[in-house]
Chain A
Amino acid sequence: MNKIKSLVINESGFTFDPFTGETFTLNETGAVIIRQLREDAPLAEITEELTKTFDVSAGDAYTDILEFRNKLVIYGLLEVSA
């Protein structure tokens, strides 16, 4: 199960995992990405959202998304099908 869907995230990016009690804070970019991933948005759609919201190129945005998604996988919060 993708745990990111159970995370409790407030407006300032403070995030609480109700399964483990872990807390962490997301920056603005992270908050946008995680909210999109929770909606099962495809990477292209998240990239477009980032380029619209922040002053960033599509290439950089895509790289950031992949890097952030890998971290979520490492922390056991997200499962990505091969």
Chain B
Amino acid sequence: MSKLTIGVSGINATSNPGPGIPVAKSLKESDIDCKLVGLSYDVNDPGHYLSHYLDKSYILPYPTNGWDGIYKRLQHIKKDFGLDVIIPCLDAELPLYIKYADELKKIGIETFLPTQKQFELRNKDKLTGFAEKIGAIYPKTWKIYSANELSKIFADHTEVMVKGQYYKAYKVNNLVDATKYFTSIAKEWGFPILIQEVVKGEELNLIGVGDGKGGNLGMVAIKKQTTTDIGKIWSGVTITHDALTKVAEKFVKKTKWRGPFEVECIVDGDKIQLIEINPRFPAWAYFATGVGINLPEQIIKSILKQKPSKINSYPSGKMFIRYTDEIICDITQFSNLVTVGENHVSTN
């Protein structure tokens, strides 16, 4: 049997990293015999040049241009190099992969994703009612379409979060900054903009994978110890938090979630204040692998109908430390990507 070929997106291992390389790294360390393909939208994504993680990489048309271009490109990749499974790792592409999962399956490309309905349940603008159903609280949130609405909110609040529907979140304590971020997020990611009350407590996160039947294939909770300017984890520590775990288990059970997810919350004692539930792996996915919970491997085993090893126990007090590194490569790799949109990473 030929090696399984797995595609991962989000190979932007930059200062604002995507989850693709951590997912690839986890699969490399698993006992799954596979080839790994990077699926990217930018020739400057460092993943294109990381031969120790990826065997080949391809440039895809942007998701904003619709499905047809991506689908044709994936068909080409399957024919050219092989492509049996895709683990999409970026928010913007997920709706397309979910919508066209059956189409991909027909041409022999498997995914492990939630349904459209499940996906929408955890939309930021729907979390208000949903949070209560899973034993959490969702901070008061306004969905706004004009900067004028900001002043009304600031009449009663001294500090709020300004958030995009998909990306970006800034804490602001004055109307000028709020308006600035409202405008910049709207320009980049569109409307609505979400304004959220600031809640007090410890920021804790949890990564997991739902099996699609109401159970999970593993979960790991962490506390971010240090973050970058835009809130990305730089160092963290594993924790054991029963209340947070219960909320995550209820989320998976209630939605019958299929695929990876990340719960972001502010915890005050046993009170879980939900910030968001991301429908994909976070960029710190390798942290879970490092403490014995290899979630990308679990996904592939599920797809292959192999019995996943449900290990939910991991040690608390294990640390994650991100660091920067450099690689040197030939410019032909860059030119391959610019001219033909692909790079044979591992043989260059």
Report whether chain A binds chain B.
Answer: yes
Question: What is the interface of chain A, defined by CB distance below 8 A to chain B?
Answer: 8, 16-23, 76
Residues of chain B from 220 to 241 with CB closer than 8 A to chain A in the complex: 222-223, 225, 236-241
Chain B contacts for A19, CB-based, 8 A = 239-241
Residue of B nearest to A19 (CB): B241
Tally of chain B residues near chain A (CB < 8 A): 15
Chain B contacts for A22, CB-based, 8 A = 202, 223
Contact between A21 and B202, CB atoms less than 8 A apart? yes
Chain B contacts for A18, CB-based, 8 A = 239-240, 316-317
Chain A contacts for B237, CB-based, 8 A = 16, 21, 23
Contact between B316 and A20, CB atoms less than 8 A apart? no
Question: What is the interface of chain B, defined by CB distance below 8 A to chain A?
Answer: 202, 204, 222-223, 225, 236-241, 267, 269, 316-317
Chain A contacts for B236, CB-based, 8 A = 21
Residue of B nearest to A76 (CB): B269
Contact between B317 and A20, CB atoms less than 8 A apart? no
Min distance, Cβ B15 to any Cβ of chain A, angstroms: 23
Bound complex: CA A76 to CA B270 (Å): 11
Residue of A nearest to B222 (CB): A21
A18, A21, A23, A76 — which one has the most chain B CB atoms within 10 A of its CB? A21
Interface of chain A: mostly helix, strand, loop or mixed: loop
Q: List 20 A-B contacts (CB under 8 A).
A: A8-B317, A16-B237, A17-B239, A18-B240, A18-B316, A18-B317, A19-B239, A20-B202, A20-B239, A20-B267, A21-B202, A21-B204, A21-B222, A21-B225, A21-B236, A21-B237, A21-B238, A22-B202, A22-B223, A76-B269
A17, A18, A19, A22 — which one has the most chain B CB atoms within 10 A of its CB? A19
Chain A contacts for B317, CB-based, 8 A = 8, 16, 18
Min distance, Cβ B281 to any Cβ of chain A, angstroms: 20
Bound complex: CA A15 to CA B269 (Å): 18
Min distance, Cβ B204 to any Cβ of chain A, angstroms: 7
Residue of A nearest to B316 (CB): A18
Residue of A nearest to B241 (CB): A19
Bound complex: CA A23 to CA B317 (Å): 10
Bound complex: CA A56 to CA B13 (Å): 56
What would 19 more interface pairs be, CB under 8 Å, given A21-B223, A21-B236? A8-B317, A16-B317, A18-B239, A18-B316, A19-B239, A19-B240, A19-B241, A20-B202, A20-B204, A20-B223, A20-B239, A20-B241, A21-B202, A21-B204, A21-B225, A21-B237, A21-B239, A22-B223, A23-B237
Min distance, Cβ B320 to any Cβ of chain A, angstroms: 11
Bound complex: CA A23 to CA B202 (Å): 12
A16, A18, A22 — which one has the most chain B CB atoms within 10 A of its CB? A18
Bound complex: CA A21 to CA B317 (Å): 7
